[in-house]
Amino acid sequence: MVRIVIVDYGMGNLASVRNALRAVGYDPEVTDDPAAVAGADGVVLPGVGAFGAGMQNLARRGLDRALQQAAAAGRPILGICLGMHLLFAAGEEGGLRPGLGLLEGRVTRLPGGVRLPQIGWNQVLVRQDHPVFDGVPEPLWAYFDHAYAVEGEAPSTALALTTYGRTYPSVVGRDHLLGIQFHPEKSSRAGLAMLANWGRMVCDLSSTRRST
């Protein structure tokens, strides 16, 4: 069994993410230990709250460096909601602040004219094939809860788009990094299917690593 860890930095729906992964056959460990994060087969970075506070909490525990080490080693990392935002270079919530810098781009506030935060179901339009979408029916509807999103409609990392006030990337990916703006753990069968697919990606990569 692969070792999947959920990063505890004081700002995540840890129990719901853990329970969702258990529901699709995995037994993740919740941890705030940097060594456990850096050495895991797969890392989930969840999150609810503000960008600046999230980065501050990661840095206080040494988890920012652990995540960067895991990424440099080619470990799969899944960022959910705020966790996705923190993968990027910067976020403007509370003033422009640096993120983990694992993906290029910045996170900005959704425009006026719509109720913020966006809370509820919205459509996700897949624009690039990716294993995380295997077996996930289209149209894909998912549960969102956020007021900030990655800037720009079509950065090179955008795998899927959603429109609310503006069109923004709702799923991003590059190499072994994956970010999901919505909450897959709250998005019924489609969300669970995506978590199961990510778990299989972790297993496949771990198997390849151990056989070489």
Q: Known catalytic residue: 185?
A: yes
Q: What are phi and psi of 181, to 5 degrees?
A: -70, -40
Of 90-99, 108-117, 137-146, 148-157, the one with minimum mean pLDDT is: 148-157
Per-residue pLDDT tens over the stretch 47-72: 989 999 999 999 999 999 999 999 99
Stretch 131-152: mean pLDDT, rounded?
95
Q: What is the pLDDT of residue 212?
A: 65
Q: Looking at the predicted structure, is the pLDDT value of residue 74 above 90?
A: yes
User: Quick one: which H or E segment has residue 209?
Assistant: helix 188-211
Choose, from 85, 146, 176, 183, the residue flagged as catalytic.
183
Per-residue pLDDT tens over the stretch 79-118: 999 999 999 999 998 789 999 999 999 999 999 899 999 9
Residue 22 region by backbone torsions, left for phi larger than 0, else alpha for psi between -120 and 50, else beta: alpha
Choose, from 85, 151, 185, 203, the residue flagged as catalytic.
185
Q: What is the pLDDT of residue 78?
A: 98
What percentage of the chain exceeds 70 in pLDDT? 98
Q: Looking at the predicted structure, is the pLDDT value of residue 155 above 80?
A: no
Peptide bond into 131 cis (omega under 30): no
Choose, from 29, 81, 85, 92, the residue flagged as catalytic.
81
Q: What is the pLDDT of residue 12?
A: 81
Q: Known catalytic residue: 183?
A: yes
What percentage of the chain exceeds 90 in pLDDT? 86
Structure tokens at 37: 């994060």
3-state secondary structure 56-98: HHHHHCCHHHHHHHHHHCCCCEEEECHHHHHCEEEECCCCCEE
Cα–Cα dist 22/107, whole Å? 30
Indicate the Cα dihedral angle 80, 71, 194, 156, nearest 10°.
90
Cβ pair 65, 55 in contact under 8 A: no
Mean pLDDT of the chain: 94
Query: Would you say the pTM of this structure is higher than 0.85?
Result: yes
Q: What is the pLDDT of residue 55?
A: 96
Q: Looking at the predicted structure, is the pLDDT value of residue 154 above 70?
A: no
Q: What is the pLDDT of residue 95?
A: 84
Task: State how beta strands 118-126 and 140-146 pair.
Answer: antiparallel
Residue 189, SS3 per DSSP? helix
Q: Known catalytic residue: 81?
A: yes
Q: Looking at the predicted structure, is the pLDDT value of residue 28 above 90?
A: yes
Q: How confident is the model at residue 20 (pLDDT cuts 50, 70, 90)?
A: very high
